[in-house]
Amino acid sequence: MRGAALVIQALQAEGVKALFGYPGGTVLDIFDEIYSSGLPFYLTRHEQGAVHAADGYARASGKVGMCIATSGPGATNLVTGIATAHMDSIPLVVLTGQVATSLIGNDAFQEVDICGITRSITKHNYLVRDIADLPQVLKSAFYIARSGRPGPVLIDLPKDIQQAETDEPYPDDIKLRSYRPTLRGNMQQLQKAAGLIDQSKKPVIFAGGGVVSSDAQNEIRLLSEILDAPVTTSLMGLGIFPETHSHALKMLGMHGTEYANYAVQEADLLIAVGVRFDDLVTGKVDKFAPQAQIIHIDIDPTSIRKNVQVTVPIVGDIRTVLQELNTLLKPRQNPQWMEQIKTWKQRHPLRYPQTDKVQPQYVIEQLAKLTDNRAIICTEVGQNQMWTAQFYNFHSSRSFLSSGGLGTMGYGFPAALGAQVAWPDKLVIDIAGDGSIQMNIQEMATAVLYDLPVKIIILNNHSLGMVRQWQSIFYDRRFSQTCLRRNKQCPPDCQQANGDCSAAYVPNFVKLAEAYGAHGFRIDHKDQVADVLQTAITTPGPVIVEISIDREENVYPMVPTGAPIHQMLRGMA
């Protein structure tokens, strides 16, 4: 069997149900095998689209996402997507073609050292120099990607290796002498944790993406109920805990809720599960959770004590650890603490001033209502992402897909395509800004041709809104290069609030949708929001809804960089 055929055999053995990619010279042999393999293949219009789609597929399904590209520019076009997956611990196997082994190092046509380039943004990578290694490399790649703390694994496959013959079948076992993630928590540590929990009066559970990877949302819910403790999540953890539950504090951190931030600052115990204490969550780190002892549960020892001091670290698979921990705990009530939480929630809810403009928060609320908070929601990056995180009430893990760690504009739409491939019958929506959506808009063709009925909702503020927000708060309204209507005639110091200078939509997203053979709708007035969104959701096929919003609209509350998280800017609300 040839190397290329072995690759296909591996994909079939690993149960790969969708392959995203783009062809080229050094992967011709693999594509030739794909031709007659029957593997469902999605030809994107850019390699970045392919890798984000594989990522969205992985996040939505919990399976390993898979994509393939050619050497050189094909491989470098994957870099942002690989880094995105790496930062958010998403299991991917990425295949790249490489020039023949005899040419490696010669600066051959379309040669790049993609293993070198991606060394710090992959969980592991392989350059296969010998056909004899290929079976084990393929097997290990899938295993490494999905086990432990998941992540992307790249396999760089020279052209002659794809063409070489081997009798080795695809192996059943993995030969890795070093890699053995710890699954069960240390019993002594678990008992210490149980003791701390027993003594605490004001416990808070803080759950993140690790809970999603380990599919432990039921265990988190049980923990919260046994302890009568509130639950806050990181951006990556949205949906782990039903956000309409009385114990839900929603998101923590820079654009989190006031009540989540107050609760953490007041807590005497923080049970942190599958989180890495990102700087957007902690704010000024030495003022973070100042009263709290911290129990930190994570599969990755390097996450523990990286950013904050921890009283009881527990390394292990979150679900396994929580199952054991939950059996060690005595059910209890915290009437006083929960009363305090309730008061904060009532006094400082997420809010925005009610006007008759089309407000983005209102749009998200309407969408939440129309979809019963149950759609799969992807976002781009910026204000659109934060408004979605704040005003949609997520109910299950794997229903919010967003680039949390890297903050990749252009992620949401291709990720939505991947999610739709994983769940053909579910409603998948991408909430976008007019900046981000243009970073991978070419995938409209993919959406239309493969009939992936993703609904794109563009909150169009004619700006790079989140950057503009910082300019208006911290840079004296010097709007340097954040107006997407800027043209040759504009004065350099323009501070126009709403870009009334020109009425032109560039591009006209409604027409753009039509150009791709999709449906486009526009919303200019508040009273259109519910109806048009309803129409968009029920229209078959991919849809773009372009919604004109006020560019002065900012995301609040907000913790300025370097401040402790209870010192939040409230805006006008």
Partner 1 sequence: MRHIINLQVENQSGVLARIAGLFSARGFNIESLSVGKMDSEAASHMTLVVRGDDWIIEQVIKQLNKLIDVYRVTDVTSTDFVGRELVLVKVYCPPAKRGDISQLVQIFRAKVVDISNRSMTLELTGNEPKIEAFLETLQPFGIQEIARTGSIAMVRDSNGKM
Ligand X SMILES: Cc1ncc(C[n+]2csc(CCOP(=O)(O)OP(=O)(O)O)c2C)c(N)n1
Residues that bind partner 1 (CB under 8 A): 115-116, 119-120, 123-125, 127, 129, 144, 176-179, 300-302, 305-306
Q: Which is nearer to ligand X, 366 or 408 (CB)?
A: 408
Rounded to whole angstroms, how far apart are CA atoms 239 and 394? Answer: 4
Whether residue 47 lies in the annotated active site: yes
Can you spell out the DSSP letters for 237-298? GTTSS-TTSTTEEEE-STTS-HHHHHHHHH-SEEEEES----HHHHBSGGGSSTT-EEEEEE
- Is residue 84 part of the contact set for ligand X (CB under 6 A)? no
Q: Judging by DSSP bridges, how do beta strands 376-379 and 428-433 pair with one another? A: parallel
Rounded to whole angstroms, how far apart are CA atoms 535 and 505? Answer: 22
The item of partner 1, ligand X, none sharing an interface with residue 214, based on CB under 5 to 8 Å by kind, is: none
**Are residues 419 and 401 in contact, defined by beta-carbon separation less than 8 angstroms?**
yes
Tokens of 177: 């002498």
The item of ligand X, partner 1, none sharing an interface with residue 348, based on CB under 5 to 8 Å by kind, is: none
Rounded to whole angstroms, how far apart are CA atoms 51 and 67? Answer: 6
Of the candidate spans 64-72, 118-126, 428-436, 539-547, the one that interacts with ligand X by CB under 6 A turns out to be: 428-436
Task: Please pick, from the candidates 89, 265, 383, 420, the single residue that binds ligand X as defined by CB under 6 A.
Answer: 383
Burial of 116 (0-12, 13-18, 19+ CB in 10 A): exposed
**Are residues 293 and 311 in contact, defined by beta-carbon separation less than 8 angstroms?**
yes
- Is residue 361 part of the contact set for ligand X (CB under 6 A)? no
Whether residue 98 lies in the annotated active site: no
The item of partner 1, ligand X, none sharing an interface with residue 177, based on CB under 5 to 8 Å by kind, is: partner 1
Q: How far is C-alpha 509 from the chain's CA centre?
A: 25
Task: Please pick, from the candidates 55, 380, 430, 546, the single residue that binds ligand X as defined by CB under 6 A.
Answer: 380
398: left (phi over 0), alpha (psi -120 to 50) or beta: left
Whether residue 14 lies in the annotated active site: no
The item of ligand X, partner 1, none sharing an interface with residue 351, based on CB under 5 to 8 Å by kind, is: none
- Is residue 79 part of the contact set for ligand X (CB under 6 A)? no
* Letter string b/e over residues 424-449, b meaning 16 or more CB atoms within 10 A of that residue's CB: eeebbbbbbbbbbbbbbbbbbbbbbe
Phi/psi at 59 (5° precision): -65, -40
**∠512-549-445 over CA atoms, to 5°?**
20
Q: Crossing angle for the helix pair 318-328 and 187-199, nearest 10 degrees?
A: 50
Of the candidate spans 98-106, 154-162, 434-442, 496-504, the one that interacts with ligand X by CB under 6 A turns out to be: 434-442
Which residue minimizes CB distance to ligand X?
A: 433
Task: From the candidates 12, 109, 165, 572, give the one annotated as an active-site residue.
Answer: 109
CB of 129: closest distance to partner 1 in angstroms? 7
The item of ligand X, partner 1, none sharing an interface with residue 127, based on CB under 5 to 8 Å by kind, is: partner 1
Task: Please pick, from the candidates 463, 471, 548, 554, the single residue that binds ligand X as defined by CB under 6 A.
Answer: 463
For residues 37-76, which are near ligand X according to CB under 6 A? Answer: none
Whether residue 354 lies in the annotated active site: no
**Are residues 403 and 88 in contact, defined by beta-carbon separation less than 8 angstroms?**
yes
Task: From the candidates 14, 20, 139, 159, give the one annotated as an active-site residue.
Answer: 159
CB of 326: closest distance to partner 1 in angstroms? 27
Q: Which is nearer to partner 1, 178 or 346 (CB)?
A: 178
The item of partner 1, ligand X, none sharing an interface with residue 7, based on CB under 5 to 8 Å by kind, is: none
Residues catalogued as catalytic: 47, 109-110, 159, 466
Binding site for ligand X (CB under 6 A): 380-384, 407-409, 433-436, 459, 461, 463-467
